[in-house]
Amino acid sequence: MRIGVLTGGGDCPGLNAVIRAVVRRAEVGFGDELVGIADGWRGLLEGRTLPLDVERCRGILPRGGTILGTSRTNPYAAPDGPARVLATAAELGLDAIVAIGGEDTLGVAHRLAAEGLAVVGVPKTIDNDLAGTELTFGFHTAVQTATEAIDRLHTTAESHDRVIVCEVMGRHAGWIATYAGIAGGATAILVPEEPFDLDEVCEVLRVRHAKGRYASIVVVAEGAVPKEGTLTLAAAELDAFGHPRLGGIAAVLAPEIERRTGIETRMTILGHIQRGGSPTAFDRVLATRFGVAAAEAVHEGAFDQMVALRAGQIVRVPLAEALAAPKHLDPELLHGVADWFRG
């Protein structure tokens, strides 16, 4: 077979591990020819490809980012976009495409599958908010990066008797914020699933510092929102998929916390640091398992499906199921664990 491989949406650690695994399983195991598609769906809109074979993939397992490039291109937002994608795939002689991405990339894959494109999805998002799979590769690495940052923030906060607000990624779900907040010993964790009351957060901080604690870390997911009427946030511009471009809530919270508590407060936005760098061993293994399973799914004709992790096993789920709704944080994790370590 002649198989195209693309990576779409935000980059994350482990993408190259998936690419490598797809290529090795397909080329060595099945004798397939692989075609690298440049910059996600944009590559199929513009007819841009890259060489992709076992030799090209040597040494990429520990590398972050993606050798194929990526973008947030939405073919359905371009004039005749879907038709151009299908035409390019036909011109390239592709029998199938392995699409590696999150809800937007796989959402496009699902729509194109209904128009006749043979596509298998691989779940990718550091936010871990894609339904149908227990974990997505990149999440573990992002949490480790955020935890290490929080550990460092503790020492500088203690030196100055400060509150530090640490903003992490998480548009729809607070998985990174909660895992990193628990692992890093945060005083408060603010997530998109539950609107927060800043007065309540400030009261916890005041009580804590009155007891002689010399540092407090507030971890906030970029998509966290205040309870209605308690704090005003500026409206964000939208991306090609209609999502707000988030980032910067920490810059609003820090001065407001200082104003309400009288405690010196600073902020740190981790941003794309969480996306970069070498994947952890866990993410390398998970990404490799996904890549092998995706190549096998192509040969078994399991199109319009996504490989996923369930109960430790790699399975396949319909893309429609995976995209039905975001996978939100388990409240038990936030309240059954994190709440006991506040203050």
Six-digit token pair at 142?
Answer: 């992002």
The span from the CA of 105 to the CA of 73, in Å, is 8
Residue 115: strand, helix, or coil:
coil
The rounded Cα 235 to chain-centroid distance in angstroms is 22
CB atoms near residue 343 (< 10 Å): 14
| Dihedral of alpha carbons 108, 299, 306, 274, sign | negative
The span from the CA of 109 to the CA of 107, in Å, is 5
Among 210, 154, 191, residue whose Cα is nearest residue 326: 191
Alpha helix segments (H runs only) across 37-115: 41-46, 81-91, 103-113
Tokens 């020819």 sit on residue:
33
Residue 34: strand, helix, or coil:
strand
Distances (CA, A) of 5 to 38, 79, 126, 158, 269: 9, 23, 20, 48, 33
Among 238, 269, 267, residue whose Cα is nearest residue 255: 267
For the chain, helix, strand, coil in percent to 5 are 40, 20, 40
The rounded Cα 73 to chain-centroid distance in angstroms is 16
| Residues known to be catalytic | 127
- By CB atoms closer than 10 A (0-12, 13-18, 19+), residue 235 is exposed
Output DSSP code: residue 24: I
Pairing type for strands 96-101 and 162-168 reads: unpaired
